[in-house]
């Protein structure tokens, strides 16, 4: 299985400050179609996961452009330009290129 | 508007069979490329993918649980199902269904407790 390694495990950020989360895969996530099936999800406290970003860098509808995704092959990054209170929760990366789909262990974003 | 909602027994005893239902709207499992996946999350822990079912009835299972899982669908009633046999306390978790291929919509989850 593809192992998705997220760092840091937790992140304490003040409102208005930037945040960055890394996700590294144990093998390249470029599929046979040439597409890279790397998603970012946010699970707010007490809620189900919500997809924020798909195909590495495409924002889902309604997701503010404070969020951005980047990366290629095995190294990916989620950035929040200015953290807001609504951004708190656990962020997960998810790869869908290789069977089975695998998740990172999560990064907990907390307020400083 | 796409919605999914899971339902299940709440609590069951070790060695029993867990039966889960995902009732969805806003898409159809008869549409090319559509599918439903099941994912679980023990309390305070991360997400584990369990199984997928596709519009063409293709099915995929997490190899670590494959022998215990059965996924199925009822296209006419917009439902997908997951059965897990011979449960034990390690199967205690919140179970989610999500639209696939890219997990863009998730249900609210259903908590399942395995306890004697």
- Interface touch A48/B108, C-beta < 8 Å: yes
Query: Strand, coil or helix: what is A1?
Result: coil
Tell which of A53, A101, A106, A108 to mutate to test the B interface (max B CBs under 10 Å). A101
pLDDT of A18-68, one tens digit each? 999 999 999 999 999 999 999 999 999 999 999 999 999 999 999 999 999
Q: Provide, as residue numbers in chain B, all residues whose Cβ is less than 8 Å from the Cβ of A42.
A: none
B68 φ/ψ angles, rounded to the nearest 5 degrees: -105, -10
Q: What does the pLDDT read at residue B102?
A: 84
Which residues lie below 8 Å from residue B39, measured CB to CB, with a gap of 6+? B47, B48, B49, B50, B95, B96, B97, B98, B103
Measured between CA atoms, the residue of chain B closest to residue A101 is B49
- Over chain A, what is the mean pLDDT? 96
- Interface touch B47/A49, C-beta < 8 Å: yes
Taking the CA of residue A90 and the nearest CA in chain B, the distance in Å comes to 9
Q: How far apart are CA B32 and CA B25, in angstroms?
A: 16
Q: Which residue ranges in chain B fall short of pLDDT 50?
A: none
Which residues lie below 8 Å from residue A77, measured CB to CB, with a gap of 6+? A20, A21, A22, A23, A69, A70, A71
Q: Provide, as residue numbers in chain A, all residues whose Cβ is less than 8 Å from the Cβ of B106.
A: 48-51
């Amino acid at each position: 299985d593809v192992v998705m390694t997220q760092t840091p495990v937790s992140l304490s950020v003040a409102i208005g400050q930037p945040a960055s989360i890394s996700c590294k895969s144990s093998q390249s996530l470029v599929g046979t179609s040439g597409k890279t099936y790397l998603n970012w999800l946010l699970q707010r406290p007490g809620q189900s996961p919500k997809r924020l970003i798909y195909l590495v860098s495409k924002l889902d509808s309604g997701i503010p452009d404070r969020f951005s995704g980047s990366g290629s092959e095995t190294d990916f990054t989620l950035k929040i330009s200015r953290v807001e209170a609504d951004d708190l929760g656990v962020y997960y990366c998810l790869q869908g290129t290789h069977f089975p789909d695998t998740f990172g262990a999560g990064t907990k974003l907390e307020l400083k | 508007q796409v919605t999914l909602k899971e339902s299940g027994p709440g609590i069951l005893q070790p060695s029993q069979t867990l039966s889960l239902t995902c009732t969805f709207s806003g898409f159809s499992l008869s549409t090319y490329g559509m599918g439903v996946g099941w994912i679980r999350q023990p309390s305070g822990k991360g997400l584990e993918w369990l199984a997928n079912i596709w519009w063409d009835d293709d099915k995929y299972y997490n190899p670590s649980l494959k022998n215990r899982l059965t996924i199925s669908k009822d296209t006419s009633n917009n439902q997908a199902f997951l059965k897990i046999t011979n449960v034990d306390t390690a199967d205690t978790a919140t179970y989610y269904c999500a639209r696939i291929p890219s997990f863009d919509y998730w249900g609210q989850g259903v908590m399942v407790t395995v306890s004697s």
